[in-house]
A and B are shown apart, each in its own frame.
Chain A
Amino acid sequence: MSETKKTGQTVQTTGHAWDGDIQEYNNPIPRWWLWSFYATVIFAIVYWIFYPAWPIGHSYTPGVMNTITYTVNGEEKTTHWNTRALLVRDMQTGEAAVKQRKHMQEVANASFSAILSDPKMIDFSSKIGKVLFEDNCAACHGMGGQGVVGLFPNLVDDDWLWGGRTEDIQNTISAGHIGFMPAFDKTFSEQQMDDVTEFVLSLSGQAKDKERVARGKVLFTGEGGGCYYCHNQQGTGIKSVGSANLTDHIWTIADVASQKDIMAKRTRVREVISHGVNRTMPTWKGRLSDEEIKLLTVYVYNLSGGK
């Protein structure tokens, strides 16, 4: 490489050579780079003045001018710039928050029947409700509320364990529930298990063996099994304990509906009776606000076509 520029001047090098002849130029840094560097230094100094910056002992310089004002209990509070105060302000006076709050308050102040007869409020609750449902409920009940048989109940059908009136649904979401049925594997003999299983299937007209049904009925409706205690004498279920209605064709734990032959149906029902049930619908009061629970109630109520 040439050691000279066009002018014939010798270019300055760092002065040392590696491997005999490898040298390094010592050119000044490009002008634009240098000026950018000075600009960042000036920017930093301006930043120190306006924003929280330098630590001093147990505190720090809060910066001037970039202050944030929000309200606590009717009193205005002004603080130096920080993201938490920014958030409080955004929640109090931000455009989106104010708009949403207006709708939220409308819903909060209205009765369920008023909400359900006002298309605008239904529209609002189905939009917000959908987002809330997907964030909080879909993991168990599925995106569309269809549930998972055996694990999480279907919310789209009009069969309810704990009641399908708006007040029932609101209470379910707010307080949560435990679906509990004891295991009967130690209580029943093999034959008794067969009998009571057959009786359960007979309730929805799917039994094949009349004798077993008759013996099972005694167990179900008497002290032998005591099933009636939770499912009542007819097997239609009791809402206050969240027991399933056994007389319809909707199954929430025992996956009977998708089974074709009687043997498979018996196996499914038998499994539930011998293992029992213990599943939890979490409590949402505290995690979600009262308004959010109300919106979800309307959303879930409408999922099943309002029944």
Chain B
Amino acid sequence: MRHEKIETNVGLLIVLTLIVISIGGLIEIVPLFFIDETIEQVQTPDGKDAIRPYSALETRGRDIYIREGCYLCHSQMIRPFRDEILRYGHYSLAAESQYDHPFQWGSKRTGPDLARVGGKYSNEWHKQHLMAPRSVMPDSIMPNYPWLQENSLAYNDIASRMKALRLVGVPYSLTDAEYEKNIERFGKGIADQLNIHAAEDNLVAQADQGNYDGDQSRLTEMDALVAYLQVLGTMVDFKQYEEGHFAEFR
């Protein structure tokens, strides 16, 4: 019997098991890379890509979001149901998380979905809420994160972080050719933000200008995290599209 060959050979058993259980996943996932409608085309009125990769500061904020495990309680995926969109706003598009590695969709909602939290609250509120959620939401069970305001933001490795993301396909530019391409795709202002060579300067400039943590004298982890939260779900202007437009991408 052939059984015996597999059952007495652990290496072979592992390989064959892996093959069998990947088939289901591969059949579901791989075609999505080839189907045209998987990622929606979302453009601004002047023909640029509406969804851009995160700026240097926002990327740092995202890393802190992941480090602190915010995703354990918060999803970032508004599903296409009436009750969801009445509460959170337009359902999430695939395009909106195309530069997220790894994506933050999640399914565990101990707290509310954060996919469109950008612009909903002020910077002061975010700072107050992250330091002491119960000072604004008496019944909240979210933990305090006071160290975000104490910790200075380490950003000397920001270029390496962006290079790593570039390797998995996020269009941060390293060469002149890539930079030119970004200008065409996103416009000059954004292309400058995506330039890895200017990453540190851009990061500092955005934090200075945004003053996300209300303390101009220091660059803290709070600056980065709030900058990230404030951009979530704000890139697409849904007013531009008629009802049902995005249903055509399914």
Contact = CB atoms under 8 A, between A and B. Distances in A.
A193 B236 CA distance: 48
Interface string B15-58: 00000000000000001001111000000000000000000000
B124 A59 contact: no
Contacts of A287: 89, 119-120
Given A85-B244, A85-B247, A85-B250, A148 B35 contact: no
B85 A87 contact: yes
Question: Most chain-B CB neighbours within 10 Å: which of A55, A79, A280, A281?
Answer: A55
B4 A16 contact: yes
Nearest to A16: B4
Contacts of B248: 79
A181 interface: no
Interface stretch (A3-11, A89-97, A247-255): A89-97
B13 interface: no
A238 interface: no
B247 A88 contact: yes
Nearest to B93: A84
B125 interface: yes
Contacts of A57: 34
Contacts of A139: 121, 125, 129, 136-137
Contacts of A15: 1, 4
B82 interface: yes
Interface stretch (A70-78, A165-173, A218-226): A70-78
Contact of A79 (B35, B124, B239, B247): B247
Contact of B124 (A58, A82, A83, A151): A151
Contacts of B122: 140, 279-282
Given A14-B3, A77-B244, A88-B247, A55 B35 contact: yes
Interface in A9-53: 14-16
Contacts of B4: 14-16
B244 A140 contact: no
A135 interface: yes
A96 B82 contact: yes
Contact of B136 (A90, A140, A283): A140
Contacts of B244: 70, 72, 77, 84-85, 88
A58 B243 contact: no
Tell me the interface secondary structure of chain B in the complex: loop
A100 to B, nearest CB: 9
Contacts of A135: 87
B13 to A, nearest CB: 15
A87 B91 contact: yes
A131 to B, nearest CB: 8
B247 A60 contact: no
A77 B81 CA distance: 20
B128 A151 contact: yes
B247 A82 contact: yes
A271 to B, nearest CB: 15
A82 B94 CA distance: 15
A57 B31 CA distance: 8
A139 B136 CA distance: 6
Interface residues of A, number: 42
A305 interface: no
B82 A90 contact: yes
A97 B34 CA distance: 36
B37 to A, nearest CB: 8
B80 interface: yes
B135 interface: yes
A72 to B, nearest CB: 5
B242 interface: yes
B104 interface: no
A222 B211 CA distance: 33
A57 B36 CA distance: 9
A108 B145 CA distance: 42
Contacts of A86: 80
Interface in A252-307: 278-283, 286-287
Contacts of A282: 119-122
A136 B128 contact: no
A84 B91 CA distance: 9
Interface string A198-235: 00000000000000000000000000000000000000
Given A14-B4, A73-B242, A139-B137, A280 B82 contact: no
Contacts of B8: 16
Contact of B239 (A59, A280, A286): A286
A148 B31 CA distance: 52
7 smallest CB-CB distances across A and B, nearest first, come from: A55-B31, A82-B250, A280-B122, A84-B247, A85-B247, A87-B80, A88-B244
11 contacts: A57-B34, A58-B34, A59-B36, A73-B242, A84-B249, A87-B81, A94-B82, A140-B121, A278-B214, A280-B122, A287-B120
